[in-house]
Structures are given as structure tokens and as C-alpha cells.
């Protein structure tokens, strides 16, 4: 199922410190994406970071951005189905 897909962290690893006690590599934070789609999502996070002008974001800002990205690109993400 995940052949030829890149692994995407829904909450990027660089912001995992904002969510202490939560494993950033848990299955619920991972999705498989094609390289082009993953690059578009990465570009969204790069723009988010640039818009911070060097300051650290709050956890709610990161969550809001992750939800916005999911709304826009969620249809391109493959999630593990747990039985």
C-alpha cells in the first residue's frame, strides 16, 4: 500500500516539542503521500515558518495549520487502517 509513497508527519517533527508526551512517530501522525503532493505540503509548512518571522509558533497555531493542510491535501494522504 505504501510503495512509492513518502512518509508525511502531519505535525512536523520540528514542532513535536510543543506536544510533550505525544510520540511524533505514532501512526496517527503519519500519512503516505506521493512525492509531488508531499512537496506541496512541505511548501505550505515552509511558508508558515517564513510567516513567523523567526518566532516560535504556539501549539494552537501549529494545529490550525495542520488542519488547514489536511483540509486542502487530505484527499492525497494514505492512512494506515487499524483493525
Percent of the chain with pLDDT over 70: 95
Percent of the chain with pLDDT over 90: 89
- Give the confidence band of 30 by pLDDT, cuts at 50, 70, 90: very high
Q: Which of 24-28, 38-42, 63-67 has the least mean pLDDT?
A: 24-28
How far is residue 77's CA from residue 34's CA, in Å, rounded to a whole number? 8
pLDDT at 83 over 70: no
What are the pLDDT digits (tens) for 45-76? 999 999 999 999 999 999 999 999 999 999 99
Answer whether 72's CB lies under 8 Å from 47's CB. Answer: no
Average pLDDT across the chain, whole number:
94
Statement: the pTM of the whole predicted model exceeds 0.85: yes
Burial of 19 (0-12, 13-18, 19+ CB in 10 A): middle
Amino acid at each position: 500500500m505504501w510503495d512509492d509513497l513518502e512518509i508525511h508527519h502531519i505535525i512536523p517533527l520540528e514542532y513535536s516539542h510543543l506536544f510533550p508526551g505525544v510520540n511524533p512517530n505514532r501512526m496517527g501522525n503519519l500519512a503516505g503521500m506521493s512525492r509531488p503532493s508531499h512537496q506541496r505540503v512541505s511548501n505550505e509548512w515552509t511558508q508558515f515558518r517564513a510567516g513567523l518571522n523567526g518566532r516560535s509558533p504556539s501549539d494552537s497555531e501549529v494545529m490550525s495549520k495542520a488542519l488547514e493542510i489536511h483540509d486542502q491535501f487530505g484527499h492525497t494522504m494514505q492512512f494506515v487502517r487499524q483493525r
